[in-house]
Amino acid sequence: MAFELPKLGYEYAALEPHIDARTMEIHYTKHHQAYINNLNNAIAGTDMENRTLAELMTGVSKLPVAVRNNGGGHFNHTLFWTVMTPNGGGLPKGDLLDAINRYFGSFDKFKEQFSNAGMTRFGSGWAWLIKAGDDLKITSTPNQDNPLMDLAETKGTPILGVDVWEHAYYLKYQNRRNEYLAAFWNVVNWEEAGRRFK
Ligand code: MN3
C-alpha cells in the first residue's frame, strides 16, 4: 500500500538544455524519493494508509503536517514530471487553448501571468494553472502545498504546475529563476495539460 516513485517517462538528459540532466537526476531520485519515504513513514500503521493521494490532499487540514509537506511533495512532483516532455513547448490545442484565450486574453498574456506567479512566490513553492469550476485560474502555493488541498487559498484541479524551489534550477541557473521559468515553456507537455483540463 506504500507510495512509490512513479516511472519517469524520459531520460534525465531528455529536457536538456532547458532542464539539465544532473538537476533532473537529483530532483527525481533524491528529492521526490525523500518526500515519498517521509510520507510513507507518516502514514504507516494509520488509516491514512487506505486513502489515495488525492484523498489525503483534499482532507489535509485535519492530517499531520508531515502529510501536508510530503504528500504535497509527492503529488506535486508526480504531476511536474508529466507536464514536461522532450520536444515540448509550443501552443496548447483545442479546448484548452480556447479557454486560455478566453480567460487570459491571449496565450502570451497567460504566459506572462503564469511566469509572474512563479517569480513573485517568495521563497519555495509552485505556480499553477488550475481549473476551478468553469474557470481557469493562475495561482501559486508555498512550500509543497497545492490547489487540491482543502487549506489552499485558491482551490482547483491542477492543469499545469512549475516547481520554483531553488533545487529545481540552482545548478544550471543559480539565482536566475526568471531564466528557468522562461526555459520551462520549451518543455511544457501541452498534450498532458490538455488531458488534465478535460
Ligand atoms: Mn522539487
Looking at residue 140, its amino acid is S
Output the pTM of the full model.
0.97
Rounded to the nearest whole angstrom, what is the distance from the C-alpha of residue 69 to the centroid of ligand 1?
12
* 39 pLDDT more than 70: yes
Which pLDDT score, from 0 to 100, does residue 134 have? 86
Rounded to the nearest whole angstrom, what is the distance from the C-alpha of residue 19 to the centroid of ligand 1?
13
What residue ranges in the chain does DSSP mark as E strands?
A: 125-132, 135-142, 157-163
pLDDT band for 126, please (50, 70, 90 cuts).
very high
* 183 pLDDT more than 80: yes
Q: Are 76 and 146 in contact (CB under 8 A)?
A: yes
Alpha-carbon distance of 116 to 127, in angstroms, equals 9
Which pLDDT score, from 0 to 100, does residue 164 have? 98
* 151 pLDDT more than 90: yes
Mean pLDDT on 172-189: 98
pLDDT digits (tens, 9 = 90+) for 44-76: 999 999 999 999 999 999 999 999 999 999 999
Which pLDDT score, from 0 to 100, does residue 150 have? 98
Rounded to the nearest whole angstrom, what is the distance from the C-alpha of residue 32 to the centroid of ligand 1?
7
Rounded to the nearest whole angstrom, what is the distance from the C-alpha of residue 102 to the centroid of ligand 1?
31
Mean pLDDT on 79-83: 98
Rounded to the nearest whole angstrom, what is the distance from the C-alpha of residue 115 to the centroid of ligand 1?
17
Nearest CA to 164 out of 49, 76, 61, 36 is that of 76
* DSSP code per residue over 81-113: HHTB-TT--S---HHHHHHHHHHHSSHHHHHHH
* 1 pLDDT more than 80: no
Rounded to the nearest whole angstrom, what is the distance from the C-alpha of residue 3 to the centroid of ligand 1?
17
